[in-house]
Chain A
Amino acid sequence: RKEVEQDPGPFNVPEGATVAFNCTYSNSASQSFFWYRQDCRKEPKLLMSVYSSGNEDGRFTAQLNRASQYISLLIRDSKLSDSATYLCVVTLFGNEKLTFGTGTRLTIIP
């Protein structure tokens, strides 16, 4: 089983729609979770950390289900600028290595 598994997509979504991504991780000892965004041939950039209680940042909502080892990202009112690859990232502790999923490619269609 892959350490971090994501649906690679692509997701082609009309502007203004809501889109949800899911991610599962295999190591139950994992403690920290992130969503990163990566534009084509660019570096990963932190979108948001994922907390146990769930968290929201504007149009973005992240949820964590430790029992199911499952992380989700919801994007509401999607914009053209949201087109990117979304990377689910897991680590055991702070300052430990990051384990990346393969990413989910999102394209927002005008």
Chain B
Amino acid sequence: EPEVTQTPSHQVTQMGQEVILHCVPISNHLYFYWYRQILGQKVEFLVSFYNNEISEKSEIFDDQFSVERPDGSNFTLKIRSTKLEDSAMYFCASSEPGDRALNYGYTFGSGTRLTVV
């Protein structure tokens, strides 16, 4: 079964440092997303990406965040200057176009646990 792959599984960083989270979406998917889940809270949307540009972003996705698809397979989330409150599980997801997304949903990666100290 195709998978969304995320690395690293766990990242510890000091407050103020930059981090880059890596994702390899499923190869025939065209829509890519980042979500986050603070411990004990619900999964929250950060950003969606299609055709090499951001299609939607949430209020959480402020200027310290950026996304990039540097090549044909990787999709990265960069946090420029991490804060303590950025500590969370970050999930990458991808989906097929249109009606197939409705039927087969969105596939999530296993997540990167980011701890800011």
Contacts and interface: CB of A to CB of B under 8 A. Distances in A.
A-B pairs, 8 with minimum CB distance: A46-B105, A94-B101, A43-B108, A97-B45, A100-B43, A102-B42, A95-B31, A94-B102
A45 to B, nearest CB: 7
Interface of B: 31, 33, 35, 41-45, 48, 50, 56, 58, 89, 91, 93, 95, 97-111, 113
B11 to A, nearest CB: 15
Interface residues of A, number: 22
The CB with the most chain B CB atoms within 10 A, among A87, A95, A98, is that of A95
Contacts of A96: 48, 56
B116 to A, nearest CB: 18
Interface stretch (A16-24, A34-42, A67-75, A76-84): A34-42
Given A43-B110, A43-B111, A46-B104, A95 B44 contact: no
A49 interface: yes
A6 B44 CA distance: 15
